[in-house]
A = this chain, B = another copy of it.
Amino acid sequence: MKAEILTIGDELLIGQVVDTNSAWIGQQLNRIGVKVHQITSVSDNEQHILTALAEAKKRVDVVLITGGLGPTKDDITKHTLCKFFQCGMRFDEPTYQVIERLFRERGRDVSATNRSQAEVPDACTLIPNPKGTAPAMWFESETTIFISMPGVPFEMKGIMEQEVIPRLTQRFSLPPILHRTILTQGIGESMLSDRMTEWENALPSHIKLAYLPAAGMVRLRMTASGKPEEMLMAELEAEETRLLPLISEFVYGFDDDVLEALVGELLRKNNRTVATAESCTGGYIAHRLTSVPGSSDYYIGSLVAYANAVKHEHLQIPESLIAQHGAVSEPVVQLMAQRVREFLKSDYAIATSGIAGPGGGTDEKPVGTVWMAVAGPSGVQSRMLRLGKGRERIIHETSLYALSLLRKMLLTGEIG
């Protein structure tokens, strides 16, 4: 069973909006064994949408469409679908009731613009939108199902999870596609590849391997298909068991693991807390740690010490130490970690100090030079990183290295 994702909107083509819907839909479909054959993005242009619908119909069994269902004038998907299916429009009273109720709850009147959202093509089955006013629409042609959803991510996600996925699994008998992803940090794609050449060459043909590099990390994804689910699962496990010893020091997690959530779990399990003292990362590590639900169980707080005066005054870093070694140095970052641990009374503390650029670099310490440290009950560990240019990337990669170091200290008995 093959699917195509069709996203509609000029904003995608001129790059004003990044299409995050397609990746999310792809994930959901993959999980139930639907192969996404293609993702196509087209403009808010009737003829172009009609062509894309006709082409997708030839290629796949299901077309998932997002975008262009809003209440405003530039949203033309609904009328174009009417044309494609040669049908008319009807006013749907239940849809109007939902719109009216939502507006009443917010203490507002329904405008004519919003009222028009209750007009729907008469050739479709309506699918409830649990999180918004525009219902999704399910059309069937001879060979292909078309499902049109709003482009607003949280509305689309609600419809997919509660309605579309259950209906698709009920309708089709889907073959298993299994994935296993191994998450690595601290090694580049080609060095990783060199370590596992033999293993990779020996992979059976129905298991595919992909390298997915991203800022500061590489994900290795094995995909297995073409056999019963239990066999595939056993084969993936066996391959993983062979692979892990070759690259173990760089592996921090699997599948959808998120580093900050793994660190959080370790802290929670050991009943330990963490705080941060951030200079170059400017609060980003605090943000990552607190993006995890329930992080208040182990996260105490952060002192973002951007100005040197804050380092001096509140973390008691002696001005002489900064003068002697510079703010971006091992002694300063070690002391920052130790002092914030005392200041905020945490068991562990992360500190960062670096040159994120674009300005501030020197010959000795070019942009991308970062010192980071983790202090714990049994002492402090620190590392220097040379991350090259790119402010955003430097902040991001520093956070990865710092969280990784904390994870390793928590794992290797530095629990205190």
Interface positions of A (Cβ within 8 A of B): 9-20, 22-28, 30, 35-44, 48, 52, 55, 70-74, 108, 111, 113-114, 152, 154, 179, 181, 189-191, 193-194, 197, 200, 208-214, 219, 221, 223, 276, 278, 281-287, 289-291, 293-296, 299-307, 309-310, 314, 343-345, 357-359, 390-393, 395
Contacts and interface: CB of A to CB of B under 8 A. Distances in A.
A117 to B, nearest CB: 9
A210 B10 contact: yes
Contact of A194 (B111, B223, B302, B357): B111
A344 B210 contact: no
A309 B345 contact: yes
Copies of this chain per assembly: 2
A217 B221 CA distance: 36
Contact of A16 (B15, B221, B391): B221
Nearest to A177: B14
Contacts of A395: 287, 290-291
Nearest to A303: B303
A292 to B, nearest CB: 9
Given A19-B23, A111-B194, A357-B293, A44 B210 contact: yes
Contacts of A154: 390, 393
A72 B179 contact: no
A70 B210 CA distance: 11
Q: Which 7 A-B pairs have the closest CB atoms?
A: A282-B290, A283-B286, A15-B26, A283-B283, A15-B27, A302-B304, A39-B41
Contact of A30 (B14, B24, B152, B393): B14
B11 A210 contact: yes
Contacts of A307: 296, 299-301, 344
A302 B302 contact: yes
A190 B111 contact: yes
B36 A14 contact: yes
Contacts of A152: 213
A13 B26 contact: yes
B27 A38 contact: no
B13 A37 contact: yes
B296 A209 contact: no
A304 B301 contact: yes
Contacts of A39: 12-13, 19, 39-41
24 contacts: A11-B221, A12-B39, A13-B35, A13-B36, A13-B37, A14-B26, A18-B18, A18-B20, A18-B23, A71-B189, A71-B193, A73-B193, A74-B208, A74-B209, A74-B211, A111-B194, A113-B197, A283-B285, A283-B302, A293-B357, A293-B391, A294-B359, A301-B305, A303-B303
A19 B294 CA distance: 30
Contact of A286 (B193, B194, B300, B304): B304
Nearest to A221: B16
